[in-house]
Chain A
Amino acid sequence: MRKVFVSLFVAILSLMLLLTGCGGGTTTPTATPTTTPTIPPPPVEKIVIGLQAPITGDFSAEGQWAKQCVEVAQDLINKAGGVLGKQIEIVVVDDGSNAKDSATAAQKMISQGLKEVIASYGSSVTRPAADLYDKNKVVSVGYGCTAVSLTMETQRPYFFRTAGRDDTQSEFFAKFAVEKLGAKKIAIMHDNQDYGKGVADDAKKFLQPSIDAGTTEIVYFDAITKGQSDYSAAITKLKEIAPDLWFFTAYYNEAALLIKQAREMGFDVTFVGNNSVPTPDFEKVAGDAIKGTYMLNEPMPQFLTFPESKTFMDAYKAKYNELPGSIWAVYAADALNALCAAIKTAGTTDPDKVAATMRTMTDAKGITGPLMFTDRGDRKNIPYYAYLYNNDGKLELFWPK
């Protein structure tokens, strides 16, 4: 009897696990990269730049926005006289939102003899392409890839990115929490997954100086289980610890339930969510509980304040009648701006010279701020902002203004 039960139980558990694996999400069929017509060798009067983007697959919305943003930026550059007296031409290749097709897309760009490309969205998608471009001495600029390892694990002399790095957010958080909010007792909660735990660990690291100085302490550092509905046990524990500030580093689903249940239990602590929290779904589930919560994000398209951003957003609105759907697409446009600025300064499209210029240029202005890069190819001084859900439940810029 005992054996039967134990083996039955094990069998059922494994089946349940299988179910989890299968039921986890919807599969979007990944289309093969759309074929782009083979273009003749670039004519002298044109500078051809590639755009590798997820036009199909899971991230297709991001891919479409990136394409639209790059085209608007291209129009603006060409109308202003182009670069080195030549017009810019964009070749779009689809990477299907996955790593396998990303390599194929990169091969296609390389075989067409392109020297500069914009690529791509998603860290794991970008990685194989960045390797290929690097090996073939093609300058590539990523726009939607934030994993720290992309630039810090291996040095790729020809790889850059206009998006920030995950640890930049953690560093900004430490500054925001200590300098702006003056938090003394900080609680950090993550979800034990790569992205969330990474941001949480880094936040702890950047808080260390204040901890050593004795002005701040981390009173809670723990994970919740992703996918649950009831987080009241974790909230009760947190409520007893009574932190000044609660930093949550994971996705919007759990964030919405946590903040809703916390407010129901009368727990009024200051809540800070990281850059994947402020979404329409978060607002819908959390309802009124979002009011007064802070969100950290790279500048959202509606909040960009540089003169270049205004020009760009006006042009984009005139063409598509709305703002770009995400900041990552705007970074794709800035990838084009960075490449054009470097080509202009270097006076050539030679990849070695362009890559060297990218590292040293200081005067390039982008839609999202100055375009400067470190030796490892990361964007310098990526702006980070804290946003506040006001009493109408709308996001407003909070700090720095």
Chain B
Amino acid sequence: MDTLIQQLINGLTIGSFYALVALGYSMVYGVMKLINFAHGDLFTLGSYIGYTVLVVGASWVTATFGIWGGMAIALVAAMIGIGVAGLVMERIAYRPVYKAGRLPLVVSALGMSFVISQGIMAIWGPNPQAYLSGWTPKDFLQFGNIRVPVLQIAILVLALGLMALIYWLVERTTFGAAIRAAAQDRDTATLMGINFNLIIFFVFALGPALGGMAGVMQGLKYTRISFNMGWLYGLKAFTATILGGIGNIPGAMIGGLLLGVMEALFEGYVSGAWKDVFIFLILILVLIWRPTGLFGEKTAEKV
């Protein structure tokens, strides 16, 4: 029983990273009908921005604001930095080719992915970097045999809180209704007085910003960051998006969490070596049963 609970906590933690990154994929897809391949690399860039804030501020940031303050500043810096990076990316790589159809957009997204990951390599070097142990709290909570670091709980709470916020924003506010309307039918939405450019602006700032924060969280939790780690998170998050139904906000969240929990349970109770095979098998079965993903059918809900 202890082991099961521990595995569920493990799965939810990694799943919440997947879910945060998946949200960015899903929001952009909903509005632009574009698979943003560069999203995983924005995640990496976010974790390097957080790293730089903590390394350059070194003792200063952590000494002045405490460990928790330092981490918060790194998260906010990554959120703002990656939000801006998302907007810049949209302006230089997507807007010029938006009218040319979907294929040029996808090629442009792939190009951006290379530009960002190679750019990171050029700036921070090809060797992995490490979030130093002095930047994070060491405390943990002990429940019987289960030991959970406080940091992990904080990350989990923050990730779930962000997801709840996005859900509320998209599903419960007038602005969210405008986003959903724009996703459904751009022309009609524009005729109804919705500023489509504002919607794009919002989606390209918020989606990447979430990914950037997830990047910092991953650095804080797992220490090691490298310029090419984005592809793995990108792949997993993309799988989560497909699993939940692409373009669907609750679908991306549930898909991410479900993927994390399934991975943890399969690795814990069957075999680590066959984990990815199992995950993709499940995905294929889900797609055969529900080709639009678990939550993909209600097109009216699409973002």
Contacts and interface: CB of A to CB of B under 8 A. Distances in A.
Given A16-B238, A23-B117, A23-B228, A5 B263 contact: no
Interface in B273-303: 273, 275-276, 287, 291-292
A77 interface: no
At the interface, is chain A mostly helix, strand, loop or mixed?
helix
Contact of A232 (B130, B140, B264): B264
B218 A229 contact: yes
Interface in A202-233: 222-225, 227-230, 232-233
A287 interface: yes
Interface string A5-44: 1101100100110011011111000000000000000000
A229 B228 contact: no
Contacts of B52: none
Contacts of A348: none
B291 A1 contact: yes
Given A23-B228, A253-B128, A222 B271 contact: yes
A228 to B, nearest CB: 7
A240 B3 contact: yes
B132 A232 contact: no
Contacts of A236: 3, 6-7, 10, 264, 268
A165 interface: no
A167 to B, nearest CB: 22
Interface in B1-24: 2-3, 6-7, 10-11, 13-14
A281 B127 contact: yes
Interface stretch (B93-101, B184-192, B229-237): B229-237
Contacts of A253: 128, 224
A234 B267 CA distance: 6
Contacts of B228: 23-25
B90 to A, nearest CB: 20
Interface residues on B, range: 35 or more
A104 interface: no
Interface string A232-276: 111011011000000000000100110011001110000000000
A6 B291 CA distance: 7
Nearest to A227: B232
A8 B221 CA distance: 33
B32 interface: no
B161 interface: no
Interface in B73-124: 110, 113-114, 117, 121
A284 B11 CA distance: 26
A285 B224 contact: yes
Interface in B231-268: 231-232, 234-235, 238, 242, 246, 263-265, 267-268
- Residue among B222, B276, B287 with the highest chain A CB neighbour number at 10 A: B222
B272 interface: yes
B246 to A, nearest CB: 8
Contacts of A401: none
Contact of A256 (B10, B113, B224): B224
B15 to A, nearest CB: 10
- Residue among B126, B234, B275 with the highest chain A CB neighbour number at 10 A: B275
Interface in A277-298: 281, 284-285, 287-288
Given A225-B276, A234-B267, A5 B224 contact: no
A79 interface: no
Nearest to A224: B272
B11 A5 contact: no
Nearest to A223: B273
Contacts of A23: 114, 117, 228, 231
A330 to B, nearest CB: 25
A228 B246 CA distance: 24
B130 A285 contact: yes
A238 to B, nearest CB: 10
Contacts of B110: 15, 19
A284 B130 contact: yes
Contacts of B140: 264, 266
Contacts of B6: 236, 239, 265
A265 B268 CA distance: 15
Contact of B223 (A6, A24, A260): A260
A192 B277 CA distance: 14
A284 to B, nearest CB: 5
A16 B13 contact: no
B234 A230 contact: no
A166 B276 CA distance: 29
Interface in B130-168: 130, 132-133, 140, 142, 147, 149
A2 interface: yes
A8 B235 CA distance: 14
A170 B263 CA distance: 31
A71 to B, nearest CB: 29
A264 B149 contact: yes
29 contacts: A1-B291, A5-B291, A12-B238, A15-B110, A16-B235, A23-B114, A23-B231, A25-B228, A26-B121, A225-B272, A227-B232, A230-B13, A230-B14, A233-B7, A233-B10, A233-B263, A233-B267, A236-B10, A237-B3, A237-B7, A239-B6, A257-B222, A257-B223, A264-B147, A265-B147, A266-B147, A281-B127, A285-B224, A287-B223
Interface of B: 2-3, 6-7, 10-11, 13-14, 35, 37, 110, 113-114, 117, 121, 126-128, 130, 132-133, 140, 142, 147, 149, 218, 221-224, 228-229, 231-232, 234-235, 238, 242, 246, 263-265, 267-269, 271-273, 275-276, 287, 291-292
Interface of A: 1-2, 5-6, 8-9, 12, 15-16, 19-20, 22-26, 192, 222-225, 227-230, 232-234, 236-237, 239-240, 253, 256-257, 260-261, 264-266, 281, 284-285, 287-288
Given A230-B221, A265-B147, 10 more contacts: A22-B114, A192-B273, A224-B272, A227-B229, A230-B13, A236-B7, A239-B6, A256-B223, A266-B140, A285-B130
